[in-house]
Chain A
Amino acid sequence: MNKQKIVLAEDNSTLSLLLKFRLEKEGYELLMAVDGKEALELVELHKPDLILTDIMMPFVSGLEVISHVRNKLSMDTPVIVFSSAGQEEMVLKAFNLGANDFMGKPFSPNELVIRVKRLLA
Chain B
Amino acid sequence: MLDYQSIVDYFEKFPALIQLAWVLSALITVTIVLLTIYLKVIRSVLRKKDIEINKFKEEYEGALVEYLYADQGDDNFSQVQTAIILKLKKDVPSKSRRKIIIKILYNLMNEVSGEMSESIKTLYYETGLIDYALARLKNKNWYVIAKGIGELTRFKIEEAYVDVNHFINHKRKEIRKETQLYLVNMFRFDGLSFLNTLESPLSEWDQVQLLEALQKFDDQQICDIEPWLKSTNETVVLFALKLAQMYNQFETKDVLIELLSHKNKEIRIFVIEVLTHLYGIEAKDMLKANFNALSLEEQISFFGLLEKLVVPTDEPFVEKHLFHKNFEIQLLALKILKSINIEKFEGLSNLPAHEKSPAMLKFVKSI
Residues of A within 8 A of B (CB): 12-15, 17-18, 21-22, 85, 105-109
Contact = CB atoms under 8 A, between A and B. Distances in A.
Contact of B65 (A14, A107, A108): A14
B104 A14 contact: yes
B80 interface: no
Contacts of B62: 17
Given A14-B107, A22-B69, A85-B216, A109 B61 contact: no
Contact of A14 (B69, B108, B113, B115): B108
B111 interface: yes
A113 B108 CA distance: 18
Nearest to B115: A108
B104 A108 contact: no
B35 interface: no
Contacts of B110: 105-106
19 contacts: A13-B57, A13-B61, A14-B61, A14-B104, A15-B107, A15-B108, A17-B65, A18-B64, A18-B112, A21-B65, A21-B69, A85-B216, A106-B110, A107-B112, A108-B113, A108-B114, A108-B115, A108-B116, A109-B116
Contacts of B216: 85
Contacts of A109: 112, 116
Given A106-B109, A106-B111, A106-B117, 5 more contacts: A14-B108, A17-B61, A17-B65, A106-B113, A107-B111
Q: Which of B65, B68, B104, B110 has the most CB of A within 10 A?
A: B65
Interface in B196-211: none
Nearest to A15: B111
Interface residues of B, number: 20
A108 B112 CA distance: 6
Contacts of B104: 14
A85 B57 CA distance: 26
Contacts of A12: 107-108, 111
Contacts of A22: 69
Interface in B16-70: 57, 61-62, 64-65, 68-69
The secondary-structure label for the interface of chain A is helix
A105 B111 contact: yes
A10 to B, nearest CB: 9
A18 B65 contact: yes
A108 B118 CA distance: 12
Contacts of A105: 110-111
A9 B354 CA distance: 68
A18 B107 contact: no
Contacts of A21: 65, 69
A15 B61 CA distance: 9
Interface string B94-116: 00000000001001111111111
Contacts of B107: 12, 14-15
A14 B116 contact: no
A85 B109 CA distance: 14
Given A21-B69, A22-B69, A85-B216, A14 B64 contact: yes
B253 to A, nearest CB: 32
A106 B112 contact: yes
Contacts of A15: 107-108, 111-112
A13 B112 CA distance: 13
Contacts of B117: 106
A13 B100 CA distance: 13
A109 B108 CA distance: 12
A21 to B, nearest CB: 5
Contacts of B109: 106
Q: Which of A14, A107, A109 has the most CB of B within 10 A?
A: A14
A73 to B, nearest CB: 28
Interface in B299-324: none
Given A14-B61, A14-B65, A22-B69, A107 B113 contact: yes
A107 B108 CA distance: 11
A72 B62 CA distance: 36
Contacts of A18: 64-65, 68, 108, 112
B71 to A, nearest CB: 12
A102 to B, nearest CB: 14
A107 B115 CA distance: 11
Nearest to A112: B112
A89 B362 CA distance: 38
